[in-house]
Structures are given as structure tokens and as C-alpha cells.
Chains A and B, each alone.
Chain A
Amino acid sequence: MIESIFIALSGLGAGFAYLVTQGLPNVVMMLIGGGLLYLAIKKDVEPLLLVPIGFGCLLVNMPLGDLMEPGGILRFFYDTGIITELFPLLIFVGIGAMTDFGPLLENPKILLLGAAGQFGIFLALLLALALGFTQLEAVCIGIIGACDGPTAIYVTTQYAPHLLGAVSVAAYSYMSLVPIIQPPIMRLLTTQREKTIRMEMVQGTISKTTRILFPILVTVVTGLIAPKGLPLMGMIMLGNFLKESGAVARLTSASENEIANVVTLFLGLAIGGTMEGHAFLKAQTLAIFALGLLAICLDTVAGVMFGKLMCFLSGGKINPLIGAAGISAYPMAARVVQNQGRLYDKKNYLLMHAMGANTGGQIGSVMAAAIMLSILKGMGLV
């Protein structure tokens, strides 16, 4: 009798025993999970994502809980929504429904800034190859530079699922750090004269028909050029089409509210579930974070430099600062541009132009990923 009570009690202490004997990585990851929760709650750093990610990280590192083993709840979210690519694609429907392409349509040429803002993806890819990552791993690390969480998750799930935790946490963390990362680069690369350029604001040049046809145009053109990226671009444009059509207010509302909220919760938990201590705490993870940061810095450099080129070609009518918004990270990068512009001229309103470049960056980041996927397919690597 006494013996069976001791046996039963030993079952209760197994978790503590595991932590003491082999659980140091789990303890470190629980602290990291706590750090993510602190950043999200106290510092307002991407709370919608970092709260479920942080809590998922905490859950998966509790010893012997088996939440990521077959049959576990986090494993279920992961298998159902991440492996199938369902969650990032559903998030994209919501993003499309929340995005206003109006500023971009007013001045279509600033779409090019959205391409320049993806340059860091490719430089980070080269650096990742130099550090010894495999080709497919390097592609997934480079995609952090897209500054677009769902795109990074979509690509990494397909080609390097073992890096999913590091890549997605890096992508979302750096997106939230855009107001800290970008301003020094913007200040360094532009002259006083360029910083104070005011841009013409034209409004009301877009018809309802143009707004409705734009998502269809983007879907068809990009789908023909890079079919492997069609799920990404198709979903974001579907969301925008629902909104612009004006005919399905309930679906638009569901996409940008209920669906986006529910999926964000499950997506975050599933990503947190990939942050198990023994798998996550590696030198490789630090390298991924460093390369991701570099990618976003290089995106900003390329965007501002391309902005300077457009400024020169337009005879000084384009403020190069808006190039920094070409990195996606919508709408935070556009707000950074507006704030920087007003530091040097309090009556300079760059927000609408920056929003245009920012939505161009959204299309650019998805397009860069789509083209990369199609290249990999063409090379026979996938």
C-alpha cells in the first residue's frame, strides 16, 4: 500500500525530475517565452502574434506534457494549419481585406519601390549560403527580408520546416522593430534637401471600377509569371476583391475580423509549439536572427537608394524617404516615413505616398517569394 502511494507520488514529481536532470534548454525557452509575453503586453510589440507564440513556447517546453507529440493539441494545430499552409493563406485573405490600395493606384509608379525593398531577401540568401546553410534553408532565411510573416511561414513550411520557429519569430520580431531599425539608415542615406522634398498629393483619380479590377489584374498577371506563388497572391487579392466589390460586406467583415483573429491565435500557438528547447537553442538560430536583421537593413538601404534614383529621374518630385516603406511591414513602415519626414519639415505630409509604397511592398514581398518558388521549381529543387 505504502509502496503504491510512493509510486503514484513519483509520477507527480516526474516533471520536476526532468527539469533538474535534462531540462535546462526547456527552462531557457520558458524564460524566452516569458520574454515574448512581456514584450507583447508591456511594450506592445506585435501582441496579437507574440502572446500566442510566447504562450505556445511556454506550453511546449513544459516537461512531459507532450503537446507537440502526435495527438497533442499544439501538434494538431501545426498539422492542420501549418503543414497544410492553411493558416498563412487565411491570414492573407484578412490582410487583403484590410488593405487599401488606393494610394498605390493614385501613383502606380511607386509600385517599383515595393520591388526595390525586397533586395535584402536575396543578399541574405547569399550570406546564408556562405554560412553553410543548404540551398532551401537559405531561401527560407532570406525570406525574412520580405518583412511579411505569413509569406515567411508559407515558404519555410514547405522547404525548411525545422527552421519554422526561428524564421517566424525573427520575421515578426523585426517587423515590430521597424521603427527602431529604419530611421538611422534613412537619415544616413538622404541629404537635408531630399528629406524636405514635398510631394504632390492628388486624390480622387481612382474609379470604383479600377479598384475592383486591380486585384483581378494582379492575380492574373502574377499568377501567369510565377504560378507557384499563386496561393499567396491569390488569397491576398481575394480579400481585397471582397472589400472593393462592396457586394459581400459580411464576408469582408468575417475575413478581417473573425477569421483573421481565430487563425492568428492558432497560428501563433502552433509557431510557439515549434520552439522546443532542445531543437531551438542552437548557434543556427542565432545566425538566422542575425541574417534576418541584416536582410531588413539591406531592404531599407535598397528602398531608399531606389527612392533617390526616382527622385533624380523625376526632377526632385519624389522624396527618397518613401523608399523605406517599400519593405512591406504594413502599415508600420509608412508611419515611420511620415514621422521622419516631419522631423525635418513639420508641414510635410508623406503618409499617403508612403502608404502607396508600403502596399507596393506587400505586393513586392509576395511577388519576390512567388518568383523564388517558381525558380526553385524550374531548377528542379522542389
Chain B
Amino acid sequence: MDKWSFGISVTIVGMGGTLLTLWLLSLLTRILKNAFPPAEAPSSTAQNQGGEAK
């Protein structure tokens, strides 16, 4: 295998594989969170309520 085939293959499979694996982990983590919720309800802070700064 020449070096460019090697480099491009590693880049595509490596970057794609990393992205897909972390996406899968984020999905499984969400499932884990839903399967084992905390005893008390979550609390949001009043200071940063999402959206843009006013």
C-alpha cells in the first residue's frame, strides 16, 4: 500500500470511527441516564437559562 492510500484510509476510517464511537457512547449514556434516574428531580440554575444573552 502506498503512503497516500494509507494516509487517506487512516484519516477516513480513524476520524469516522472516532466520531461514530463517541456518538454511540453518547447514545448509550443517555439510555443509561434514563434507566437509572437520580432519586431527586434535577435543578436548573437561575443564572444561565439557555438561549442567547440578553
A226 at the B interface (CB under 8 A): yes
| B23-A201 in contact (CB<8A) | no
| B19-A198 in contact (CB<8A) | no
| A111-B25 in contact (CB<8A) | yes
Instruction: Report how far A109 CA is from B24 CA in the complex, Å.
Output: 10
Residues of B within 8 A of A345 (CB): 53
Residue of B nearest to A344 (CB): B53
Residues of B within 8 A of A226 (CB): 17, 21
Instruction: Report how far A367 CA is from B22 CA in the complex, Å.
Output: 8
Among the listed B7, B25, B43, B53, which residue makes an inter-chain contact with A197, where contact means beta carbons less than 8 Å apart? B53
Shortest Cβ gap from A12 to chain B (Å): 51
Residues of A within 8 A of B45 (CB): 201, 203
| A379-B19 in contact (CB<8A) | no
Among the listed A135, A205, A214, A217, which residue makes an inter-chain contact with B42, where contact means beta carbons less than 8 Å apart? A205
Scan A328-369; emit 1 where CB is below 8 A from any B CB, else 0. 000000000000000001011100000000001001100110
| B3-A135 in contact (CB<8A) | yes
| B7-A125 in contact (CB<8A) | yes
Instruction: Report how far A123 CA is from B7 CA in the complex, Å.
Output: 9
Instruction: Report how far A363 CA is from B29 CA in the complex, Å.
Output: 13
A121 at the B interface (CB under 8 A): yes
| B32-A213 in contact (CB<8A) | yes
Residue of A nearest to B40 (CB): A204
Shortest Cβ gap from B40 to chain A (Å): 6
| B22-A363 in contact (CB<8A) | yes
A297 at the B interface (CB under 8 A): no
Residue of B nearest to A135 (CB): B6
| A317-B10 in contact (CB<8A) | no
Among the listed B6, B18, B24, B50, which residue makes an inter-chain contact with A364, where contact means beta carbons less than 8 Å apart? B18
Shortest Cβ gap from A143 to chain B (Å): 11
A286 at the B interface (CB under 8 A): no
A129 at the B interface (CB under 8 A): yes
| A363-B25 in contact (CB<8A) | yes
| B13-A129 in contact (CB<8A) | no
With A122-B10, A135-B6 given, is the CB distance from A112 to B21 under 8 Å? no
A270 at the B interface (CB under 8 A): no
| A200-B44 in contact (CB<8A) | yes
With A200-B50, A204-B38 given, is the CB distance from A111 to B29 under 8 Å? yes
Show the binding face of A for B, using Cβ within 8 Å: 104-105, 108-109, 111-112, 114-116, 118-119, 121-123, 125-126, 129, 135, 138-139, 193, 196-207, 209-210, 213-214, 217-218, 221-222, 225-226, 316-317, 345, 347-349, 360, 363-364, 367-368, 371-372, 375-376, 379
Beyond known contacts A135-B3, A375-B13: 8 more, CB 8 A cutoff: A126-B7, A139-B10, A196-B52, A214-B32, A317-B51, A347-B53, A371-B17, A371-B21
14 contacts between A and B (CB under 8 A): A105-B33, A111-B22, A111-B29, A126-B7, A193-B52, A197-B52, A197-B53, A199-B48, A200-B49, A206-B33, A207-B38, A210-B29, A371-B14, A371-B18
